[in-house]
């Protein structure tokens, strides 16, 4: 199995290291000091489950890698439309693109069925620019439950969780999903193949849509948000509105809001990826979280006043941080 990790940051390098341990031919595509460190020292993983170092190949040139069986996409979703020159050398006729993104994916309504089948969401696929680069037919959905941070170039701190749920947009249990699942499990990760990954998408989104923007607005960790009474109430309201949109699309999330917040509190003083990006001066990945659900709320006619308010504030923050 030949795998390219395009965007080998914290999550990408962690997955690449695990797959390399499983015997896959892994190529990490990165740049700058992080690339230099991985080339020289490998990927060093610091984890409560045990530290380890893996030595997959690392490059900044996808053309050196050539066509692969799987592209694990570790890029932020807001860079998908521009990744064509990077991903094109990695593709052959059956290459699967495993998009490890937060929020609503560009392929969400691909083979969805029902009245919204094939519908494009402007917030995540503006003018079809993402679908033009990443054909929905190639997509294997991936919901990441692991929490990681890039401690320093080449060093990934694994905070908690090893689950990477995957699934086909059309809901079938495909050979390509089963093969990837087996490789991930051999590398020490949990990788269930879900018959309908959209339920997992909404479950993960329930936390991301609330904790990520609030953490950036308040510069707060998971524990701090959960323990602050007023902020906790805002988060609960955002989750309630999100569940209403999911239900309007036929998705029932099998966890209570109280349990979801309790789980977040147990993560402790972890900073969300959005807060990490803000602190590092990187673009904020909010369209696939807030903007997408606000757009889905408009489509389904579900009122989401709190989501709209936080979206407006977060949008201004994203604009100011990019200036």
- Has residue 286 got a pLDDT over 90? no
> What is the DSSP secondary structure assignment for residue 122, as one 8-state letter?
T
Same domain, residue pair 166 and 247: no
Report percent pLDDT > 70 for the chain: 100
Let me know whether 257 and 121 are in one domain: no
Beta strands in 269-319 (DSSP E): none
0.75 exceeded by the pTM?
yes
Domain count, the chain: 2
DSSP 8-state class, residue 177: H
User: In terms of domains, do 231 and 270 share one?
Assistant: yes
Q: How confident is the model over 107-116, as pLDDT tens digits?
A: 999 999 999 9
Is the pLDDT assigned to residue 18 strictly greater than 80?
Answer: yes
pLDDT at residue 270 in the model: 86
In terms of residue numbers, what domain contains 215? 199-322
Domain boundary among 167, 196, 225: 196
**262: enclosing H helix or E strand:** helix 257-267
Q: Are residues 220 and 155 in the same domain?
A: no
- Cβ contacts of 53 within 8 Å, gap of 6 or more: 17, 41, 42, 43, 44, 45
Question: Alpha-carbon distance 283 to 274, whole Å?
Answer: 9
Q: What is the pLDDT of residues 158-209, one digit of tens each?
A: 988 999 999 999 999 999 999 999 999 999 999 999 999 999 999 999 999 9
Tell which residue, 196, 315, 301, 297, has the closest CA to residue 238: 297
Query: Measured on CA atoms in the order 66, 71, 72, 75, is the torsion positive or negative?
Result: positive
Is the pLDDT at 268 greater than 90? The verdict is no
Question: What are the C-alpha distances in Å from 274 to residues 153, 210, 289?
Answer: 19, 11, 11
Domain boundary among 196, 221, 243: 196
The rounded mean pLDDT for the chain is 95
For residue 258, give both structure tokens: 């109280």
Last residue of a domain, one of 150, 167, 196: 196
**Does residue 261 carry a pLDDT above 80?**
yes
Q: Are strands 147-152 and 139-144 parallel, antiparallel or unpaired?
A: unpaired
Checking if the pLDDT of 323 tops 80, the result is: no
Give the other-Cβ count within 10 Å of 36's Cβ.
Answer: 15
Active-site amino acid positions: 204
Query: pLDDT (tens digit, 9 = 90+) per residue, 80-108?
Result: 999 999 999 999 999 999 999 889 999 99
For CA atoms 169, 173, 176, 178, give the dihedral sign.
positive
> Is residue 262's pLDDT more than 90?
yes
pLDDT grade for 267, boundaries at 50, 70 and 90: confident
């Amino acid at each position: 199995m030949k795998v390219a990790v395009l965007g080998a940051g914290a999550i990408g390098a962690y997955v690449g290291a695990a797959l390399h341990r499983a015997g896959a031919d892994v190529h990490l595509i990165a740049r700058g000091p992080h690339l230099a460190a991985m080339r020289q020292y490998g990927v060093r993983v610091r984890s409560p489950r045990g530290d380890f170092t893996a030595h997959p190949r690392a490059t900044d040139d996808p053309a050196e890698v050539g066509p692969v069986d799987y592209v694990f996409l570790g890029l932020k979703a807001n860079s998908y439309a521009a990744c064509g020159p990077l991903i094109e050398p990695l593709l052959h006729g059956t290459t699967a693109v495993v998009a490890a993104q937060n929020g609503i994916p560009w392929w969400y309504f691909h083979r969805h069925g029902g009245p919204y089948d094939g519908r494009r969401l402007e917030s995540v696929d503006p003018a079809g620019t993402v679908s033009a680069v990443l054909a929905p037919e190639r997509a294997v959905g991936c919901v990441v439950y692991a929490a990681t941070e890039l401690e320093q170039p080449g060093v990934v701190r694994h905070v908690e969780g090893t689950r990477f749920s995957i699934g086909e947009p059309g809901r079938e249990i495909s050979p390509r999903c089963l093969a990837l699942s087996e490789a991930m499990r051999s590398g020490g990760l949990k990788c269930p193949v879900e018959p309908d990954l959209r339920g997992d998408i909404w479950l993960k989104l329930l936390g991301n849509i609330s904790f990520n923007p609030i953490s950036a607005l308040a510069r707060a960790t998971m524990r701090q948000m959960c323990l602050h009474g007023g902020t906790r109430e805002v988060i609960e309201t955002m989750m309630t509105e999100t569940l209403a949109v999911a239900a309007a699309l036929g998705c029932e999330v099998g966890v209570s809001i109280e349990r979801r917040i309790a789980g977040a509190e147990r993560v402790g003083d972890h900073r969300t990826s959005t807060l990490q990006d803000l602190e590092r001066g990187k673009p904020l990945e909010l369209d696939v979280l807030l903007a997408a659900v606000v757009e889905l709320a408009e489509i389904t006619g579900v009122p989401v006043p709190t989501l709209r308010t936080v979206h407006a504030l977060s949008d201004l923050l994203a604009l100011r941080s990019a200036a």
